[in-house]
Amino acid sequence: MQPKSNIMKALIFSTLVLATSFSVNAELIQHSEQIGEIKFTGSTYELGQHVGEVASEQILAGMQRFDTTLGVMLPGLSLSKLEQSFTDNKVFSKLKLASPDAAQYIAGLSASLDISPNRILAVGMSDEAILESQRSGGMGFLQAEGHQPAAPAKCTSFAVKAKGGKAWAASNFDYMGINYQGLLMLNHTDTDGGHRIIQTWAGLIPYGGVSKGGQVFLMNTMADEGTARQNAKGEILSETAVPSYYLSWDVYNTKTTAEVVKLFKKYPEYTAFFTYTVAGEGQVLNIENNYGGHVNFSYGDWQAHANHSLYQPKPEIVNASFAAKSVARQDAAENFMKKEATTASKADVQNFMGHSVLWKGRGELMGTVTSTFYEIDNGKVTLYFQTDHAGENEKTVVITYG
């Protein structure tokens, strides 16, 4: 793992204020050794450029750790091989057509880092790399932690509906051990005045945040859907599939949950399968893109989601050990919400997220990267991030929206 002193070198100061042009304002705040926040006003391309400039050491070190981890997951798998596959399949070109905004961000990163857009996307679309490893006999989404400690994608999310403009949401983001360091929260005000917060690892992998409409987005991977495609011998980067970065990025441009549903339904095929739990606008939305071109969603007074579909027929692989006890985590989250959705305090929720079924610890290769509580109050969102431990009185980083 990269020494902490090296990780912090590029961000040696706690606050850096830049004025690069009349229309661009930027502030970098290093809240902890693990979490930085980039406040930025300007175009999406300029945002990508700026992230690449101020966080280049973190990004490059993270990409190197990602490359090393690929070889652990599947001997012979490397970032260069993924980059070549992305280039051959014209992934960045497809992203430009599907999501000009996401492509502008990647192009800005590419220009400042002098790295090809497809190499950046090979990391940013990490689910596709994990699915490639899984289908080739390496580590993937299916393992329980007792079987393969490197197996990622064990997130659990839950949220309650807005009442009187107030609501809350919570999510444990569980992924690879390399993701513990280099977390960057992009607090971005666009040239159109739209404000969004995109939680990322190293500015590359989005994994949640707040949209321009003030809705909280909790993101999970659909471990069963990628496996369903694998079993049907479907291609990950097929000719007709839209890069999943479209789903990872464009949701933060939406202003209503109806726009989120429309966004998911816009294309019939994606390279990966995600679910979002969306809170802050009336009832809570759960939405999934499923194998076979389906989009399933529902609204409720509260929602919870782990790593398997809540709407598709449950395949045999979704058993007690599937995806680090996805079923047990789903059951635990639902039982908590049934009892405490309207009465739970922030401390109650944080203590629950530190519970053994949901909390995956901080293993060398896999664990809980962030445990986040979101407090929604009439357009203002306060994000409470916990890393090494989750629970009441544990060390917390606070970032605000609105």
Q: Which two tokens stand for residue 196?
A: 């969004």
Determine the pLDDT at residue 182: 83
Number of domains in the chain: 1
- Could you give the percent of the chain with pLDDT greater than 90? 65
Q: How far apart are CA 154 and CA 174, in angstroms?
A: 5
pLDDT tens, residue by residue, 49-106: 999 999 999 999 999 998 998 888 788 999 999 999 999 999 999 999 999 999 999 9
Nearest to 367 by CA among 172, 233, 237: 172
pLDDT confidence of 393, banded at 50, 70, 90? very high
CB 50 within 8 A of CB 40: yes
Distance from C-alpha of 189 to C-alpha of 197, rounded to nearest angstrom: 9
| Segment 374-390 mean pLDDT | 95
Using only C-alpha atoms, what is the Rg of the chain?
19
| CATH number of the domain enclosing 217 | 3.60.60.10
Q: Which of 333-337, 358-362, 392-396 has the lowest mean pLDDT?
A: 358-362
Average pLDDT, the chain: 87
Query: Is the per-residue pLDDT at 230 higher than 60?
Result: yes
pLDDT, position 146:
40
Question: Which residues, including other chains, have CB under 8 Å from residue 149's CB and lie 6 or more apart?
Answer: 363, 364, 365, 366
Average pLDDT value for residue range 20-27:
59
Residues spanned by the domain of 320: 4-401
CA distance 35 to 27: 14
